[in-house]
Amino acid sequence: MAFLQSKRQLVTGFIIFILCSFLTTNVFAKDELIGHYAEQEIRALIELEIMEGDSSGKFLPERDITRAEFVKLIIEGLGVEGTGADVTFEDIRSDEWFYEYAIIAAQHGIVEGDGSANFVPNRTITREEMAVMIKRALDTAGVTLKPESLPFVDQHKISDWAIDDIKQLVSADIIKGELKNDQLYFSPKTEAPRGQAAAFIYRTLHTIDPETYPELKPIPTHKETKYPYTFDYMVDAQVKSTPKVDGAGKYTASKALVEYYANPSNFGKDTAEYYQFLILSEPAGTVASELNKQFLNGKGTLDKQGKAFIEAANKENINELYLITHALHETGNGTSSLAKGIKVGKDKNGKLQLVTDKNKKDLTSIKTTYNMFGIKAVDSCAKECGAKHAYEEGWFTPHDAIVGGAVFIGEGYIHFEDPNGKYSSLDTLYKMRWNPEGKITPNVWSKQYATHVQWATTQGRKLAEMYDKISTYRARFDIPVYSGHPGVTSLPKPEDHYAVLPSSVAKAWTTAKDTKLNVRKGPTTNFEIVTTLSYRTEVKVLGKNGSWYKIQSGSHEGWVSGDYISSEKPDKKKDVKADAALNEDVVVNIEADVSFGQTVTDTPFYDESDRSGEAEVTLPAETEVAILGTVDDMYEVEVDEVKGFILQSDVERINN
């Protein structure tokens, strides 16, 4: 392609700089550009010397652009060369600065006169005129676009001669529209300011050559929240709350691992994990067309519901991408029964009943209900309880279920009142996991959503992936700062991820009779073998973690499974077996500091009578349960007033 070649080397280095630094300042920055929606595009075009300011150094991004100025942008920006065709305009002279640009644009059919052989260089252009000129420039560059339906509420105001071109530019994300009062407008007859023109031109360059001109993301903003205690104080408090190495909650994390993941310095702005600091208690400022295209397309009854998520976000002050992740998970990508709609009616006593072929004739006020966040839909009563709750809330369309259900997400995850009636907010993933405010005094609400030390960073990566797929949004980050805040630290070695907890057993003997017992560097079979021990070998017990013990034998230290050692001294007359005293020591007493948990996968839910048999009910992943106690390898739990038993390995404990 002949276009753009001369600009590539210069712009590539500049764009890399933008993407790596989030661009908060620049040597050519003008104060008027900081925070402008087209700041990055304007700076890129200034660096390329395609756009420039006035004699006083002002760029004036909100001043309307003229035809002459915009033609220069197109010709300079795309590197369009003349064809030699004979073109004249009666109202411009060959010594005027824009003359050559006007002629070249006319030769390629990018511009036409006003019908009287005039170019009219100083007339401002409207948004729809600018769109048509850009589409003609793309035609000249040999770029073919497919039209897409328009998302604008004012599309009926677009001129017939412009609408097809605008549909194609929308499909390429060159035109995005303007968000006003939660609705997307194109404003076709509005005169276009210089800032908008810069954004249009850069997106055109990106469409022609996306490798050289990568998509520019909005510039995020950052703030710091200082906490009146030391980082060590915070870490010590977290260590006491049994943080976990794994999502299943089997192994307690070491202090070193907590120090790493709780330290904000370890997750810089250039990492996906930085999104654990994204503020979720405000709308993201996205546009419905992008949400529909990237996340909701083909997702059952969530399809084309981008506008509803934006409405819910604005109403409840919640990030709409965060709402979308909840809805997609709870509805199985919009395909669950509650998402498809369940009919509910009232019986003769006014009580709600699910509609069936048998009772339909006896019910009145029948409505189709929708529940997009699984509210009140516990597995033992998923369809019935979820649908009845939706009826009570008046969720009779997918839109109403999304907007109405967002209240639950806000109150249950982001906004809430502590026991003293004080309003609190865990409005970043980091706060949800570590809740720095909750450790100041015992009287402050100390809710946390997970025990896994990587929970916030894992969820942060998911959010980063979503943001990477859209181009219109706001992103604000809140980074915690502690007294004595450490700098960047290294992740501990894998074997040092695990705490060595005290054990009441001081020494033990191996019980593996038919084979030698492997001693490993860490407390799982994934770790390499340090040494092997013969049957009846005496070992010193240094500590434990989960069902594993850290032991010392001679000059070797390592971990062995509690299934293959015993606190019983060997007797030559009988085999050594793992005894009750050691097994009891393996079970960590958790009832004192844990009262809630969350299933990490689809989990069998047993009642007392069939605890060792086959479960008739399965709790979906991320179901919150109240932990009442432990029995063997199971938790006794309660889910919406229904008691039962689930495997401890299927639960991630939540500090509360």
Beta bridge partners of 285: none
Residue 320 phi, psi dihedral angles, 5° rounding: -70, -30
Of 98-112, 444-458, 596-610, the one with minimum mean pLDDT is 596-610
Give the pLDDT of residue 382.
84
- Distance, in Å, from the CA atom of 127 to the CA atom of 137, rounded to the nearest integer, reads 15
Cα–Cα nearest to 497, from 453, 538, 436: 453
Judged by phi (left if over 0) then psi (alpha if -120 to 50, else beta), residue 544 lies in beta
User: 221-230 and 476-483 as β-strands: parallel, antiparallel, unpaired?
Assistant: parallel
Question: HEC string of 238-298?
Answer: HHCCCCECCCCCCCEECHHHHHHHCCHHHCCCCCHHHHHHECCCCCCCCCHHHHHHHHHCC
Beta bridge partners of 367: 344
pLDDT tens for each residue of 288-311:
888 999 999 999 999 999 989 999
pLDDT tens for each residue of 549-571:
999 999 999 999 998 999 887 77
Residue type, 149: S
Contact 418, 444 (CB under 8 A): yes
Average pLDDT on 573-582 reads 55
- Distance, in Å, from the CA atom of 284 to the CA atom of 301, rounded to the nearest integer, reads 22
Higher pLDDT, 114 or 186: 186
pTM above 0.75, yes or no: no
Beta bridge partners of 306: none
For 499, the enclosing helix (H) or strand (E) is none
Average pLDDT on 590-607 reads 64
Question: HEC string of 288-348?
Answer: HHHHHHHHHCCCHHHCCCHHHHHHHHHHHCCCHHHHHHHHHHHCCCCCCHHHHCEEEEECC
Judged by phi (left if over 0) then psi (alpha if -120 to 50, else beta), residue 654 lies in beta
Which of 145-154, 338-347, 596-605 has maximum average pLDDT? 338-347
Give the pLDDT of residue 261.
97
pLDDT tens for each residue of 34-84:
777 788 888 888 887 888 877 777 888 899 999 999 999 999 888 899 988
CB hemisphere CA count around 105 (13 angstroms): 30
- CA quadruple 410, 412, 413, 417: dihedral, nearest 10: 80
Contact 10, 77 (CB under 8 A): no
Give the pLDDT of residue 263.
97
Tokens matching residue 380: 């033992």
pLDDT tens for each residue of 163-195:
999 999 998 889 888 877 767 889 999 999 999
On average, the pLDDT of the chain sits at 84
Q: How many CB atoms lie within 10 A of CB 329?
A: 14
Mapping DSSP to helix (H, G, I), strand (E, B) and coil, where does residue 99 land? helix
Give the pLDDT of residue 188.
94
Cα–Cα nearest to 415, from 402, 407, 424, 403: 424
Give the pLDDT of residue 21.
36
Q: How many CB atoms lie within 10 A of CB 62?
A: 11
Q: How many CB atoms lie within 10 A of CB 626?
A: 16
**Residue 230 CA to its chain's centroid (Å):** 29
For 231, the enclosing helix (H) or strand (E) is helix 231-239
Tokens 């020591």 -> residue: 585
Tokens matching residue 182: 């939660």
Of 529-543, 554-568, 593-607, the one with minimum mean pLDDT is 593-607
Q: Strands across the sheet with 624-631, in order?
A: 642-647, 634-639, 624-631, 596-599, 651-654
User: Which whole-number Å values give the CA distances from 138 to 72, 198, 572, in the listed order?
Assistant: 15, 16, 89
Q: What is the DSSP letter of 564?
A: G
Give the pLDDT of residue 465.
94
- Reduced DSSP (H G I as helix, E B as strand, rest coil) percent helix, strand, coil of the chain, to 5: 35, 20, 45
Beta bridge partners of 653: 597
Give the pLDDT of residue 540.
96
| pLDDT over threshold 60, residue 419 | no
Contact 625, 619 (CB under 8 A): yes
What b/e readout covers 258-293, taking b as 16+ CB neighbours within 10 angstroms? bbbbbbbebbeeeebbbbbbbbbbebbbbbbbbbbb
- Distance, in Å, from the CA atom of 524 to the CA atom of 547, rounded to the nearest integer, reads 9
For 9, the enclosing helix (H) or strand (E) is helix 8-21
Tokens matching residue 94: 């060959």
Of 73-87, 220-234, 371-385, 576-590, the one with minimum mean pLDDT is 576-590
Judged by phi (left if over 0) then psi (alpha if -120 to 50, else beta), residue 19 lies in alpha
Q: What is the DSSP letter of 351?
A: -
